[in-house]
């Protein structure tokens, strides 16, 4: 299958298929599941600079926790958390800044502050105005397959055996629906990135299956982002808390890269940059050292 070409993000070009790109997580929420939330501006800027120096290609900035059971915050509060940080980082780092939000008013303020990518964890299910905004601004848009709106695992499995038996079929259908809606609303195909939504409304066994069968999502013809970092499926598979999931994350990412991931979204940037570079060296014959990148 033909690789999905090039996506331009601000002054940066992502040439899909040449290597794996690393997205570093900048979490401005105090109640992150991974315990990595940073709210003091100087500490956030220091973390962002460190991530870039360690090899991050994109910084994904979010102001609202997405952990299960978290309390929602208002758009005004989310803007208050993210806009000043994005405005400052836009003048201090050279990599693209992504805004991780499901609210179009937050995304608009973030883009005006200097973000150049939108990451919608609901894949336009909550608010399709995000697609209109991405089209208006000619901005790359990440669309995720999120099954949390389908209710609890047990209730969903009882009424929907197809989802239980074929999670990839469900995720593919969900992403295709989001992709087609985005195109209908004017987003350029070259600007759409797809995320299967590891940890968002799936059982831990299904999350493992998504990583194992990631290559099947290639039929959608767009670059694939995965976010396994420190997720509960690693904890349940290994019996470890979030603080001890680095190696499990590395295994998921290495296999994800082998199965066709184009972007990995991570907390532990230096470790996962090395995992991606080694995986690329094996899979894509991409020797970073020989190109003077180490």
Q: Give the tens place of pLDDT for each residue, 140-182.
A: 999 999 987 765 445 554 445 455 678 999 999 999 999 999 9
pLDDT score for 150: 61
User: Would you place residue 292 in the very low, low, confident or very high pLDDT band (cuts 50, 70, 90)?
Assistant: very low
Per-residue pLDDT tens digits for 82-100: 999 999 999 999 999 999 9
State whether residue 120 is helix, strand or coil. strand
The one catalytic residue among 202, 231, 245, 277: 231
Quick one: which H or E segment has residue 225? strand 225-226
Give CA–CA dist 182/123, Å, rounded: 9
- Average pLDDT, stretch 184-204? 96
pLDDT score for 159: 47
202 is catalytic: no
Q: Angle at Cα 167 formed by Cα 159 and Cα 213, nearest 5°?
A: 165
pLDDT of 34 over the 50 cut: no
User: Would you place residue 193 in the very low, low, confident or very high pLDDT band (cuts 50, 70, 90)?
Assistant: very high
Task: Tell me whether residue 240 is in a domain.
Answer: yes
Give CA–CA dist 271/280, Å, rounded: 14
Task: Tell me whether residue 70 is in a domain.
Answer: yes
The structural domain count of the chain equals: 1
pLDDT score for 284: 85
Residue 231's domain comprises 6-291
Per-residue pLDDT tens digits for 208-236: 999 999 999 999 999 999 999 999 999 99
Lowest mean pLDDT among 239-243, 254-258, 268-272: 239-243
pLDDT score for 269: 98
Task: Tell me whether residue 52 is in a domain.
Answer: yes
The one catalytic residue among 19, 222, 265, 277: 265
222 is catalytic: no
Give CA–CA dist 242/112, Å, rounded: 34
Per-residue pLDDT tens digits for 94-138: 999 999 999 999 999 999 999 999 999 999 999 999 999 999 999
DSSP notation for 49-76? HHHHHTT-SEEEEESS--STTPPP--HH
Residues ≥6 apart with Cβ < 8 Å to 184: none
> Could you tell me the two tokens for 109?
């303020």
pLDDT score for 31: 62
Task: Tell me whether residue 148 is in a domain.
Answer: yes
pLDDT of 41 over the 60 cut: yes
State whether residue 23 is helix, strand or coil. strand
- Average pLDDT, stretch 49-54? 98
Task: Tell me whether residue 1 is in a domain.
Answer: no
Lowest mean pLDDT among 27-31, 127-131, 173-177, 246-250: 27-31
Q: Which of these, 197, 265, 276, 272, lies nearest to 60 by C-alpha position?
A: 265
Give CA–CA dist 162/245, Å, rounded: 30
Task: Tell me whether residue 16 is in a domain.
Answer: yes
Task: Tell me whether residue 179 is in a domain.
Answer: yes
Classify residue 258 as exposed, middle or buried by CB count within 10 Å of its CB (0-12, 13-18, 19+).
middle
Q: What single-letter DSSP state applies at residue 201?
A: S
Provide the residue count of the chain.
Answer: 294
pLDDT of 195 over the 90 cut: yes
pLDDT score for 4: 76
State whether residue 273 is helix, strand or coil. helix
Higher pLDDT, 290 or 26: 26
pLDDT of 55 over the 80 cut: yes
Task: Tell me whether residue 256 is in a domain.
Answer: yes
Please state, rounded to an integer, the average pLDDT across all residues of the chain. Answer: 90
pLDDT of 290 over the 50 cut: no
Q: What single-letter DSSP state applies at residue 63?
A: S
Specify the CATH number for the domain of residue 233.
Answer: 3.20.20.20
Which residues of 57-203 form beta strands (DSSP E)? 58-62, 97-100, 117-120, 141-144, 192-195
């Amino acid at each position: 299958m033909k690789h999905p070409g090039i996506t331009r993000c601000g002054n940066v070009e992502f040439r899909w298929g040449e290597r794996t790109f690393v997205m570093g997580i900048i979490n401005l929420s105090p109640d992150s599941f991974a315990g990595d939330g940073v709210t003091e501006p100087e500490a956030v800027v220091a973390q962002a600079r460190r991530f870039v120096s360690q090899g991050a290609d994109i910084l994904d900035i979010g102001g609202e926790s997405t952990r299960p059971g978290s309390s929602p915050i208002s758009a005004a509060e989310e803007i208050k958390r993210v806009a000043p940080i994005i405005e400052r980082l836009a003048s201090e780092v050279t990599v693209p800044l992504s805004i991780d939000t499901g609210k179009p008013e937050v995304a608009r303020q973030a883009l005006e502050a200097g973000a150049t990518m939108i990451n919608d964890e609901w894949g336009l299910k909550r608010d399709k105005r995000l697609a209109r905004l991405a089209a208006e601004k000619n901005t790359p848009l990440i669309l995720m397959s999120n099954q949390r709106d389908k209710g609890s695992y047990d209730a969903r499995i009882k009424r929907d055996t197809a989802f239980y038996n074929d999670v990839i079929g469900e995720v593919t259908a969900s992403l295709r629906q989001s992709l087609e809606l985005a195109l209908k609303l004017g987003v350029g195909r070259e600007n759409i990135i797809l995320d299967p939504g590891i940890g968002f409304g799936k059982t831990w066994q299904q999350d493992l299956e998504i990583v194992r069968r990631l290559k099947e999502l290639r039929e959608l013809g767009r670059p694939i982002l995965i976010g396994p970092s420190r997720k509960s499926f690693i904890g349940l598979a290994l019996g470890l808390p979030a603080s001890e999931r680095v190696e499990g994350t590395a295994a998921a990412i290495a296999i994800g890269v082998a199965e066709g991931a184009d972007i990995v979204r991570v907390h532990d940037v230096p470790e996962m940059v090395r995992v991606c570079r080694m995986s690329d060296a094996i899979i894509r014959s991409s020797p970073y050292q020989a190109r003077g990148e180490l």
